[in-house]
């Protein structure tokens, strides 16, 4: 059984969803309730996954570990398609995720209301440009992975939920919205949300 340290609503939700997709048993622990969490991960960030005697950090690296360890439909076996799947994951993790991080940083560190709103709007504009790229990539397929969901779709679906916490407008194209809704309607996603809600009580 795996052990996953998470924070409610954070990017660790994607790891939890993927574990559910892989039908792997997992014990989840809210990192915010751990007094010594930095002893587990000195960076203090989630997710952290315990796999036997291994302590794994960094969300994309954890997903790659799981997807190569367990047979699944989220990660293609074909070399060319697998390279595209990795690229899509890196776009989500290293490009879209930091763009949303700007919203959190500005909200927590800028005090002047007018300056803050202008900065948030600018950050949201950058995010919307990235979602525009996703919309284009979905022109001829329902998911980034083609006819079936990929890990990148799951990552992006988690990030898409974060805009609601800020006074900005995040715009999703019709194809993007259909993909996000399809992912968030999957039993694996709903179960992860319910399990995290129960665990954090």
Give the tens place of pLDDT for each residue, 9-21: 999 999 999 999 9
DSSP state of 200: T
pLDDT of residue 67: 97
Residue 154 has pLDDT above 90, yes or no: yes
Average pLDDT rounded to a whole number, residues 37-55: 96
Tell me phi and psi for residue 2, to 5 degrees.
-85, 160
Domain covering 2-73+187-199: architecture = 3-Layer(aba) Sandwich (3.40)
In angstroms, what is the C-alpha Rg of the chain? 17
Q: Where in the chain is the domain with CATH 3.40.30.10?
A: 2-73+187-199
CATH of domain 79-184: 1.20.1050.10
Of the candidates 37, 28, 31, 30, the one whose C-alpha atom is nearest the C-alpha of residue 3 is: 28
pLDDT of residue 19: 98
Q: Where in the chain is the domain with CATH 1.20.1050.10?
A: 79-184
C-alpha dihedral (104, 110, 113, 115), degrees to nearest 10: -100
Residue 200 has pLDDT above 90, yes or no: no
Q: Is the pTM of this model over 0.85?
A: yes
Task: Give 43: exposed, middle or buried? Use CB within 10 Å, 0-12, 13-18, 19+.
Answer: exposed
- Predicted confidence (pLDDT) per residue in 65-120, tens digit: 999 999 999 999 999 999 999 999 999 999 999 999 999 999 999 999 999 999 99
């Amino acid at each position: 059984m795996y052990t996953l340290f998470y924070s409610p609503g954070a990017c660790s939700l994607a790891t939890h969803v993927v574990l559910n997709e892989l039908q792997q048993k997992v014990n989840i622990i809210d990192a915010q309730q751990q007094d010594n969490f930095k002893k587990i991960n000195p960076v203090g960030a989630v997710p952290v996954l315990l796999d036997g005697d291994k302590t794994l950090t960094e969300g994309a690296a954890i997903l790659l570990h799981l997807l190569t360890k367990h047979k699944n439909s989220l990660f293609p076996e074909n070399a060319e398609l697998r390279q595209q799947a990795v690229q899509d994951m890196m776009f989500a993790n290293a490009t879209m995720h930091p763009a949303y991080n700007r919203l959190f940083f500005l909200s927590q560190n800028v005090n002047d209301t007018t300056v803050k709103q202008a900065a948030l709007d600018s950050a949201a504009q950058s995010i919307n440009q990235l979602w525009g790229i996703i919309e284009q990539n979905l022109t001829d397929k329902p998911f980034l992975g083609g006819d079936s969901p990929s890990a990148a779709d799951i990552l992006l679906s988690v990030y898409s939920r974060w805009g609601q916490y800020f006074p900005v407008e995040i715009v999703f194209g019709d194809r993007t919205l259909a993909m996000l809704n399809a992912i968030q309607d999957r039993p694996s996603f709903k179960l992860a949300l319910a399990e995290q809600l129960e665990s954090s009580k």
